[in-house]
Amino acid sequence: MDKILKIITFSVRELGEILLFIINSIVGFFLCQKRFSKIIISSYEIGFRCLFIILVIGLFTGMVMGLQMYYTLIKFGAESALGTAISLSIIRELGPVLSALMIVGQSGSAICSEIGIQRNDEQIDALETMGIGSRSFLAGPRLLAGFICFPILTAIFDLIGLWGGYFSGSILMGLDAAIYWNKVFSSVQFIDVLGGFIKSFIFGVFTIGICCYEGYYSHIKSSYPGIRGVSQAATRAVVKSSIFILVFDYLITSFLL
């Protein structure tokens, strides 16, 4: 019991530190307006590089769901509800969660190692001696890019997932296409889409925040100095982000439902 309490207090404190880091970076970023073009570069880094993997994962998630749900639903003679089942689970849950996990794996770890190496190479100290706020310079544009890119990539994931479900449910298994799409359009409500987007906004800022934070403090948070500490930090960033995504997915869902 004591141990669990300790873990919880530790997590809450860490989350608070990360939140302060995020606020500090974003406020600093907006105070120095010369850097807005950096958002585009970071959006490319986070968004465009992940596009391919999002397309692949989205398509296959939709396809496998199409198959599984079809076999389950047909047992009850309810295969016409396939569109409802796929669209709601993808838009509400799988879209935001899986996209966020994929982006963290692809871009978050890269961001963390890049900042960690810059820390290791004293580039961050150099920024500070030049009078440049290193947090807003390094983390600011990435956080905003996360805020922009996560919802867009999630939307792409949702769309392609629905097509994947259509492919396996309708083209392969023979469910009527009109019934599938009809169910999709009639069962998805604005609140479902909004809920998915709220999740991806929060995931976007916080997971990128965690990755920047871990990289930025890789020199004090790792047990090894140097590059080995950076690789530790990257691992920690991915693990913490993934835990964050799943825990907060549950929390946000329970608030929204």
Partner 1 sequence: MKFCLNIKSLKKNFGCNSVLSNVDLEIQSDKVTVIIGKSGAGKSVLLKLIAGILNADGGKISITQVSDAGQSSEINLKDLGFSYMFQNNALFDSLTAFDNIALPLIEGNYNFKSSQVRLKVDALLEQLDLLSSKNKFPGELSGGMKKRVAFARALVTEPNIVLFDEPTTGLDPEKKFTVFEMINQYKEQFGFSALLVSHDIPEVYEIVDSIAWLDEGKIKFQGSKDEIDRIADQSVKNYLKTGRFNSKVRL
Per-residue CA distances from 190 to 8, 76, 81, 118, 185 (Å): 35, 28, 19, 43, 11
Can residue 35 be called a binding residue for partner 1 (CB under 8 A)?
yes
Our CB check for partner 1 shows the closer of 99 and 118 to be 118
Q: Rounded to 5 degrees, what angle do the CA atoms 123, 127, 128 make?
A: 120
Tell me which of 30, 40, 128, 176 binds partner 1, using CB under 8 A: 128
The distance of closest approach from Cβ of residue 126 to partner 1 in the complex, given in angstroms and rounded to an integer, is 4
Q: Assign residue 8 a region (left: φ > 0; alpha: ψ between -120 and 50; beta: otherwise).
A: alpha
Tell me which of 1, 2, 5, 34 binds partner 1, using CB under 8 A: 34
Both tokens of 21, joined, read: 């880091």
User: The tokens 């991806």 sit on which residue?
Assistant: 200
The distance of closest approach from Cβ of residue 123 to partner 1 in the complex, given in angstroms and rounded to an integer, is 5
Tell me which of 126, 172, 246, 247 binds partner 1, using CB under 8 A: 126
Our CB check for partner 1 shows the closer of 17 and 121 to be 121
Can residue 17 be called a binding residue for partner 1 (CB under 8 A)?
no
Q: What is the dihedral of CA 122, 236, 225, 117, to 10 degrees?
A: -30
By the 8 A CB rule, do 232 and 222 touch? yes
By the 8 A CB rule, do 201 and 227 touch? no
- Could you tell me how many residues of this chain bind partner 1 (CB under 8 A)? 16
Can residue 36 be called a binding residue for partner 1 (CB under 8 A)?
no
Our CB check for partner 1 shows the closer of 30 and 185 to be 30
Can residue 72 be called a binding residue for partner 1 (CB under 8 A)?
no
Give which of 69, 77, 84, 78 is closest to 169, Cα–Cα.
69
Chain residues in the site for partner 1 (CB under 8 A): 32, 34-35, 118, 121-123, 125-132, 137
